[in-house]
Amino acid sequence: MLSSIHLLQPHFLSLLRIVSSLVLFSYGTQKILHFPAAASVPPVGSLPWVAGLLELTLGFLVLIGFQTRLAAFVLSGLMAFAYFIGHASKSLYPAQNGGVAAILFCFVFLYIFAAGAGPFSLDNLLKRGRTPAAA
């Protein structure tokens, strides 16, 4: 059974990438596109607005698996920055300071940076297109 699960590992990597980036992308759509409707929208050019723009654009790149490592690296840093700027000063404990999502996103995107996009991605599709066909 473990060997069967091991064979599915690359597919679960793609699933982790798709689901986590879709969730982060939705934060960007809320801040930038105002969808779904948000209680408050950050002013254009503010730090939360810039974060939303990165969540929207880089989240979409990770979602489709294009330039995944670079986009995931930047998103990991963004989430670390968000944690320390917006949460860490409130309390040492993430459950108390509201920073659980930021920490999880930080390390999920750091893992995606290290592991790559997985088989269900544009990166993988383009890589296969560049390799010479076997004779």
- Summarised one tens digit per residue, pLDDT across range 58-78 is 999 999 999 999 999 999 999
Q: What is the mean pLDDT of the chain?
A: 93
Tokens representing 70?
A: 């670079």
On the 0-12 / 13-18 / 19+ scale of CB atoms within 10 A, 112 is: buried
Ranges of the chain whose pLDDT falls below 70 = 131-135
pLDDT of amino acid 10: 96
